[in-house]
Chains A and B, each alone.
Chain A
Amino acid sequence: MNKGRFGRFGGQYVPETLMNALDELERAYNEAMADNSFMEELGYYLDKYVGRPTPLYFAKRLTEYLGGGRVYLKREDLNHTGAHKINNALGQGLLAKRMGKKRLTAETGAGQHGVAAATAAALLGMECDVFMGREDMERQALNVFRMELLGARVVPVTSGTATLKDATNEAIRDWVSNVEHTHYIIGSVVGPHPYPTMVRDFQRIIGDETRQQIIQAEERLPDHIIACVGGGSNSMGIFYPFVSDDAVKLYGVEAAGLGLDTDKHAATISKGNVGVLHGMMTYLLQDKYGQIQPVYSISAGLDYPGVGPEHAYLHDIGRVHYTSVTDNEAIEAFEMLSRLEGIIPALESAHAVAYAAKLIPQISKDDIIVINISGRGDKDVQSIAKLKGVNIDE
């Protein structure tokens, strides 16, 4: 019987060379999770270094503006390095160290996961190589420099479409070559088993905290939780502790780019079909021969042709409602949250905010809504300025 399935999704579709490494990783992970000293160490760093718990903030002006419900923001943007990615990078970094690995690798699109992995490597005194599409390196030059400051090497990827998908291929190829001393930190709930489960478990702290915080603030569970979905780690993290609470409605927001009726989007669940990529069976954007199609979103972090297998499953059983918003809707929400709350969200997170703005007019005024602000928007300021024709270069 094959392992790591969420219904028909997941699995381990990788070259034979990696199978033993995946077994080893799974064993080491299970042992670590059952070991109090590992959990204490992780807890220590999350508390003292990352700055957890992150606040659950009642967004009064946004609530008033949208005219209903009670809107809370889960402030993952306040984590060290500016996004939820560090929760996972640190968890896997500590695990790799425990396994005696000397070198960390990571793939990155926007650069947030790359920065998180480089940060974990610096903190733990490990070597780090980050694979990044050449095109993304140009779009996110600031993050490239940031990773280099942290002591990591950024490896340009020119194969295929030279974006996140290809950076992931390259990171896997590197791992096949250096599996004995390298741990590959996948940045989302994707890849072969045990990655989707492991990354979810390192990210569920978002949902666990949210649950505690909302009960403290409102003495009940929220009615709606909204998060953006690229690969799906911030959404899986906040959803997971609520999956068995049927009254809590969960919404995953994909990137509709220029629109679902164009070929410029990254709405994998909305428009894709089932296939195998990066070691997992899941929904993919592909042609009828199984060739993976180029995807597009203004947000580099959502620009991925697949989605985590657990999301695919939660979609199939109807537990999570997957929807999408366009570039323009996301930009509008980006500006709205900045002006109303003084919080500049990542463009990824702005997708969740945009969907909240659509949802709130349709729900009861007493409903409680939680939006996961998965990251801060500093990294996007430059591209938004460019879009508005404002020159902010020196």
Chain B
Amino acid sequence: MHPVITTVLQRLALGLLTLFVVSLIIFSSIEFLPGDFGEAILGQAALPETVAAFRKELGLDLPLHERYLEWVGGVITGDLGNSFSGRGSSGGADRSRPVIDLIAPRLGNTLFLAGMAAIIAVPLALFLGITAALYRGSIYDRVVNALTLTTISFPEFFVAYILILFFSSFFKVFPSLANIDPSADFWERVYLSALPAITLTLVIVAHMMRMTRAAIINLMASPYIEMADLKGVSKSKIIIYHALPNAWAPIVNVIAFNLAYLVVGVVVVEVVFVYPGVGQLMVDAVTTRDVPVVQACALIFAITYIMLNLFADIISIITNPRLLHPR
């Protein structure tokens, strides 16, 4: 079998194992949270009888392992279960929404924002990293480094508020509310999501840019680059044709890491811009102990990490002839 396929299969198997462990961790950590759905949803107005009625209907009175097996069984057959919220009224009819209906639109929004931020951030970071390596030690290199390090050093919400101040209050270029509508067309979405996407870009560019720069500079000291230099190849050609192909592995790993962050870690940005993403959904679900939603979100996040890492590994193999054609 081709080594790429073997690696993919190995990684997928490992990924499944990881998912299993993650599911155990999620399930048990939710158990440790104080209170349950009934208490959370009724708040100060909770009466023992009403809480018990909730618990009975949601099956929360069953033992832990039974609930876990039921959930895992559902997930394997593609059923993420039903959200606790909107569970039947006194009529007893179950009119709750399936978790998938709850998550799908939110996940779509999150992926849209992540994609938009990635389309701006990844090429920008690569360009800045390569040019910084090219003009290493120059004023340009220092300015780029200082700027990107500044933006990564500020907390996200601060960057967000500064952007709102300049682009929504002083100059009304973009709206400060990015609560996109499901019916909005593509360009309207882009317009509404502009500020959150720029915020995310500013936050992630530094990491990728510095890794690109470091990886290339690291290679610049190797003998084959020296050889190319001695042959009289121009500096930019050396970097693009000789250094970059060998530098892809670390760069792609950092890019994958940042893309995963864009999907799973942007709840602060979502809150500031009131962006209806999956992070906000998960926080809401945790505070109200809507367990099926929390579990589904956590699983999706875990899958995102595993898939992006797998993707990074495949790219490193393909770009590295020694790994692609092992002896």
A and B from one complex: no
Using CB atoms and an 8 Å cutoff, list the residues of chain B in contact with chain A. Answer: none
